[in-house]
Amino acid sequence: MQIGVLEPIEFSIEAVKLLSKIGEVHFYKDEKLEDFLKNKNVLFIRLSYQINYSFLCLAPNLKFLCTPTTGLNHIDEKLCKSRGINLISLKNEIKFLKSIRATPEHTFGLVLSLLRNYKSSFLSSLKRDWNRDLYKGHEIFENKVGIVGYGRVGTLLSKYFKAFGAKVFYYDIDDTIVGKFEAIKSESVEDLINNSNIIIISISYTELNRDFINKNLIDLLKGKYLINTSRGEIIDEDYLIEKIKKNFFKGVALDVIKNENSTKNNLSELLKLTNTNNLIITPHVSGATYSSMKRTEEFITMQLLKKFS
């Protein structure tokens, strides 16, 4: 069994030891991608590659594709299935994911950063304005937070914000979900936005909710804070950029953008806007902590090993 780790930086040593029980483990380094992939039966990926037709043509012997992620918009699932490739991911691993807190923690941090103007107020050798009046911000206490998507991340965020004294609203397409931590259910996204000052996007991505946050919903966000740590495809990004240019929002924080793995994305345009707006962009780091990445890689490895037991 030939096992490839496509993004090997700080890949779990324990996972490698476990994988060695079923085959030879190879880390991708400087060789041509096609040379690395051509004989691999198992492949571990993260988020840096788009697994599409062109990619899979380079891996004719691939039988298992392993990704320690919940979102799968970087993978053509239908194509993998048609080629007999087994996809192993964190999707629907509810019990295990309850102990993975990196994404809600980062999301909470982005909210706090927007409210307190941290991006502007951090001083350095090049920025020496010791004048707190330039950087006054707002508190979470008694603020109104709306969470779109009340799954694992949404419910944890609700818990965090309630602990800080905020009033929390939530919306989820699943009518059976009952609010936890005293969160108030909204009957529609429109109601949630109208009742909230801070709107957080934490819904799972599928093709059905591409551009879920559409022009009509974005138009309701005037003077509010918007945070997205889900997937960039969930928001009408071109229209979002138009509104950012007009200082439409109180603040925006994005950990994700559309087409992250392509050079044909809006990153350059968004980065230009960070100079003149309360706009924070982080490079999809919400789930990237040493602890969460190690544990998820080991969990995915164990799920793979079950296929051989």
Q: Which tens digits make up the pLDDT trace of 125-153?
A: 998 999 999 999 999 999 999 999 999 99
Higher pLDDT pick, 30 / 171: 171
Confidence label for 261 from pLDDT (cuts 50, 70 and 90): confident
Average pLDDT over residues 252-271: 94
What band does 180 get if pLDDT is binned at 50, 70 and 90?
A: confident
What's the pTM value of the predicted model, to 2 decimals?
0.92
Residue-wise pLDDT for 90-105, tens only, equals: 998 989 999 999 999 9
- Which band of pLDDT confidence, cut at 50, 70 and 90, is reported for residue 263? confident
Indicate whether 206 pLDDT > 90: no
Map out the domains of the chain with their CATH numbers.
2-93+289-306 (3.40.50.720), 101-281 (3.40.50.720)
What b/e sequence results for 148-166 when a residue is b if at least 16 CB atoms lie within 10 Å of its CB, and e otherwise?
A: bbbbbbbbbbbebbbeeeb
Element at 297 (helix H, strand E): helix 290-306
Q: Which residue has the higher pLDDT, 6 or 179?
A: 6
pLDDT given at position 175: 82
> Is residue 58 scored above 80 in pLDDT?
yes
- The tokens of 80 are what? 């993998």
pLDDT at 137: 96
Q: What pLDDT does 74 receive?
A: 92
Question: Is residue 9's pLDDT more than 80?
Answer: yes
- With 90 as the cut, is the pLDDT of residue 181 above it? no
Question: 200 pairs with which residues across the strands?
Answer: 147, 227
Section 187-216 average pLDDT? 95
3-state class (DSSP) for residue 282: coil
Buried residues in 225-244 as b, exposed as e (16+ CB within 10 A): bbbbbbbbbbbbbebbeebb
Would you state the pLDDT for residue 239? 98
Neighbours of 214 (CB within 10 A): 13
* Cα 226 to Cα 218: distance, rounded to the nearest angstrom: 9
The pLDDT value recorded for residue 178 is: 79
- Is residue 257 within 8 A of residue 266, CB to CB? The reply is yes
In the predicted structure, residue 159 carries a pLDDT above the cut 80: yes
Average confidence score pLDDT of the chain: 95
Model pLDDT, residue 165: 97
State percent of the chain over pLDDT 70: 100
What pLDDT, on a 0 to 100 scale, did the predictor assign at position 184?
95
Q: Is residue 309 pLDDT above 80, yes or no?
A: no
**Three-state SS at 122:** coil
